[in-house]
Amino acid sequence: MSQLFINIKHLIKLCGILVLGFSIFSPAIADTIPDFTKFEAGTERKKEFFNYLLPLINNHNAATLKAREKISKWSQHHDNIGWIDHFQLENFLEVYQLDNFDTNDEKDWATLLRRVDVIPASLALAQAANESGWGTSRFAREGNNYYGQWCFKRGCGMVPNDRGTGDIHEVAVFNSPSDSIASYLRNINSHKAYKSLRKIRMSLRAAAKPVTGNELAKGLDKYSQRGQDYIKEIRSIIRHNNLQKYDYNYNNDSREYSPLFSH
């Protein structure tokens, strides 16, 4: 009987992960991925690139805000979390890489909320443009990888032509651009390398200031070996392409958010 209970519990958790995972990390995607190499470099290609990726990024951010709202409610009533919500919480903890979580510890809830949060569209667009060559790179075209994300198991992705001797990393392959965006968001929101970015975002929220890509870019010094030069380039892309117009007022945690800047 105990083994049966364990199997049922595992099945329920798996179902919760599948349902929750779809709702958070797999928004509806366009049927056809544009071939950005067919558009003239410059204004035309940029327009198509932003038009394609922006709805995907916004969908992921909206789903993340929905999850954040749920977690915030749980944190306020942590003594009364239902069993379905409990399994959903376990999924969040797995996705956002939080171990030894204590539902009675306010600090643990605060840490989770720091991770389950939006990445402004301006930043996600600028990094995608930079890392994928506006969607024309080999890894974007053949592997739907728009953020230069690596994996470390043999055969997990595509081997870079310039990979050094003794290196084992590959460039990850995704089923869709939406999956690449989801992985990028999880990486930024959970990896220790971007802890400073999350602190910047938390400070902006605490001060009721806009959470913008230009501000969060300051926490990307470990995203590239280029460090501060990489940050300057990302902020330059945001500025020169007026991407800040795609950022929203996320401070009220509402899914009905409004633009920070007029278009």
Q: What is the pLDDT of residues 97-119, one digit of tens each?
A: 999 999 999 999 999 999 999 99
All domains of the chain in start order, with CATH: 2-246 (1.10.530.10)
Angle at 113 between CA 118 and CA 89, to 5 degrees: 105
Q: Is the pLDDT of residue 14 over 70?
A: no
Q: Is the pLDDT of residue 24 over 70?
A: no
Q: What is the 3-state secondary structure (H, E, C) of 92-157?
A: HHHHCCCCCCCCCCHHHHHHHHHHCCCCCHHHHHHHHHHHHCCCCCHHHHHHCCCCCCEECCCCCE
Measured CA to CA, the distance from residue 52 to residue 39 in angstroms comes to 13
On whether the CB atoms of residues 68 and 117 are closer than 8 A, the answer is: yes
Global pTM value? 0.83
Q: What is the pLDDT of residues 200-227, one digit of tens each?
A: 999 999 999 999 999 999 999 999 999 9
Stretch 58-70: mean pLDDT: 94
Amino acid 197: pLDDT? 98
202: three-class secondary structure by DSSP: helix
